[in-house]
Chain A
């Protein structure tokens, strides 16, 4: 079975779970509005002081902020910031974490000890603290937030990749490739990695929810993506100052942020459950019930 067909089958099974299907629908909606925001009649930067802090209306569904900007427009464009930061961060985390885990698990010698001690040091720092320290160094920018969130995600990828290599390395098909003369690099990246993809992809989805949360938290603290770029965390930060005048200002963007985080988390957990079940079934089939 090709990878694409397997992914399609997994997707169909995922959609039979109500929570996961709803989550996926919501994420598709958020992603589409973010992607095609340019075609919508929304302007996140147009100011009109006369219309500041208006409650939700037919004209401004989510109301307006302290500068009279349309909050819905800022939520839609904020989705771009959040999703771009999250995907960029997951990409960085995978780009560094997966090779580190592969090498550590494949050789298992001093390279393993050195690499995993470094990962332990990363794990020892609360990730928001680490991200804040990194931003203190890099200065406040979207790029800094992206790198900070990404570095915080490296350990989880490294650990999963390492565990996968250690589980797959002694299997026959790997030994066969070695017999054909496959070198360490070929075995790690062309033989083992394609067979270890599913837990890594699930981890990427789980990490996306953590990355969105972390980016929002950094922006809420005032050290994330700098204004005037719309960002959900930044909107909650400003909205908090106007709780008496415009309570919906901090509530509505918060709902979108929360639903996005919960959706990624729900899909991640549903996929974990499906893949776990598949593996249990596969083990039963191949080993005749022995484990």
Chain B
């Protein structure tokens, strides 16, 4: 198992290298490129030439990339063009906020999604199933940012229970404050993810419930709760986990948008700010960190497999 995880980690390297090169190439292909941002709009020809010289921007792109890569490997992602702070430090400040939001959203998604899936899969095509399927279609189809706006309208503007803009409060420092701040963004993202979970877990549960071993279990007189909870659930989780892994991309996209709705100080908002100010080193850093996070999540999903289904061998 350890060997498998290690090998998967090693396999991530070429993809990361390729992706980092692609991002680097894309951003440096911009007309004007970073120089325009460094020297400002009204710079003279001499100032532009000096900036190009100083930052080594006249070297071939591959040389510049290798230079950047060499420094990135030692943890130096360069300085933000605007705040002049190290990119890694800026990202490090935002990462805990995004992680906290993600965990809270996943918690809400599981609490909402799994019961909905089970309730609708137990009696497919019943009225309950139709209502719940409609609900998961809504959770998936309604734009996350609009859900966020509606939640703000109800809970912040009308009821005044919760703040409309969220701060990041570390959970272990002030749990109640953290929950107040986190409630709306986590609910927004969590409802969306619960739609994904419910739709695919339902399909997977219904597929499994038609298998022979389920009929056998029922024929033996195994109580229905045990049949669903133990027999069907365990086997249905497998295809479901694959889908959840694939859906992680949507989750990350949803997190970026949710952070924007609630002006939540996470990684997604940092990236949007970086893009609107054309802060190239910061854009590169953010995208790479998000990509690494995405790949690590996918890896943990695969590792979950082994835990759920011991039949799978890792070679």
Partners in one complex: yes
Q: Which residues of A contact B (CB under 8 A)?
A: 121, 123-129, 132-137, 139, 209, 213, 216-217, 220-223, 233, 236, 239-240, 243-244, 247, 250-251, 254, 257-258, 261-262, 265
B283 is an interface residue with CB less than 8 A from chain A: yes
8 pairs from A and B in contact (CB 8 Å cutoff):
A133-B26, A216-B145, A240-B149, A247-B153, A247-B157, A251-B150, A258-B142, A262-B137
Choose one: A129, A220, A233; the contact of B287 (CB below 8 Å).
A129
- Chain A residues near B145 (CB-CB < 8 A): 216-217, 220, 233, 236
Determine if B253 and A126 form an interchain contact, defined as CB atoms under 8 angstroms apart. yes
Q: How large is the interface on B (under 10, 10 to 19, 20 to 34, 35 or more residues)?
A: 35 or more
- Chain A residues near B3 (CB-CB < 8 A): none
- Chain A residues near B153 (CB-CB < 8 A): 243, 247, 250-251
- Knowing A128-B256, A132-B272, A251-B153, say if A265 contacts B141 (CB, 8 Å): yes
* Minimum Cβ distance to chain A for residue B119 (Å): 21
- Chain B residues near A251 (CB-CB < 8 A): 149-150, 153
Please, how many angstroms separate the alpha-carbon atoms of A239 and B149 in the complex? Answer: 9
- Knowing A222-B272, A222-B276, say if A217 contacts B143 (CB, 8 Å): yes
Determine if B257 and A220 form an interchain contact, defined as CB atoms under 8 angstroms apart. yes
Determine if B137 and A220 form an interchain contact, defined as CB atoms under 8 angstroms apart. no
Please, how many angstroms separate the alpha-carbon atoms of A127 and B250 in the complex? Answer: 8
B278 is an interface residue with CB less than 8 A from chain A: yes
Determine if A137 and B276 form an interchain contact, defined as CB atoms under 8 angstroms apart. no
Closest 3 CB pairs of A and B: A128-B253, A126-B249, A254-B146
Determine if B142 and A129 form an interchain contact, defined as CB atoms under 8 angstroms apart. no
Choose one: A136, A216, A223; the contact of B143 (CB below 8 Å).
A216
Please, how many angstroms separate the alpha-carbon atoms of A240 and B152 in the complex? Answer: 9
Please, how many angstroms separate the alpha-carbon atoms of A135 and B283 in the complex? Answer: 12
Which of B23, B149, B283 gathers most chain A CB within 10 Å? B149
B252 is an interface residue with CB less than 8 A from chain A: yes
- Knowing A136-B275, A250-B149, A254-B146, say if A243 contacts B287 (CB, 8 Å): no
- Chain A residues near B295 (CB-CB < 8 A): 124
Choose one: A136, A139, A213, A221; the contact of B283 (CB below 8 Å).
A136
Which of A134, A209, A221, A247 gathers most chain B CB within 10 Å? A221
- Chain B residues near A247 (CB-CB < 8 A): 153, 157
- Knowing A134-B26, A247-B157, say if A129 contacts B252 (CB, 8 Å): yes
- Grouping DSSP codes into helix (H, G, I), strand (E, B) and loop, the B interface class, with mixed when no group exceeds half, is helix
B19 is an interface residue with CB less than 8 A from chain A: yes
- Knowing A134-B26, A136-B283, say if A261 contacts B143 (CB, 8 Å): yes
- Chain A residues near B30 (CB-CB < 8 A): 136-137, 139
Nearest B residue to A223 via CB reads B275
Nearest B residue to A222 via CB reads B276
Determine if B164 and A243 form an interchain contact, defined as CB atoms under 8 angstroms apart. yes
Query: B244-261: which have CB < 8 Å to A?
Result: 249-250, 252-253, 256-257, 260-261
Please, how many angstroms separate the alpha-carbon atoms of A257 and B141 in the complex? Answer: 10
- Chain A residues near B19 (CB-CB < 8 A): 121, 124-125
Choose one: B250, B272, B294; the contact of A223 (CB below 8 Å).
B272
B50 is an interface residue with CB less than 8 A from chain A: no
Query: B1-26: which have CB < 8 Å to A?
Result: 15, 18-19, 22-23, 26
B308 is an interface residue with CB less than 8 A from chain A: no
* Minimum Cβ distance to chain A for residue B296 (Å): 13
Please, how many angstroms separate the alpha-carbon atoms of A239 and B283 in the complex? Answer: 27
* Minimum Cβ distance to chain B for residue A143 (Å): 14
Query: B104-148: which have CB < 8 Å to A?
Result: 137-138, 141-146
Determine if A126 and B257 form an interchain contact, defined as CB atoms under 8 angstroms apart. no
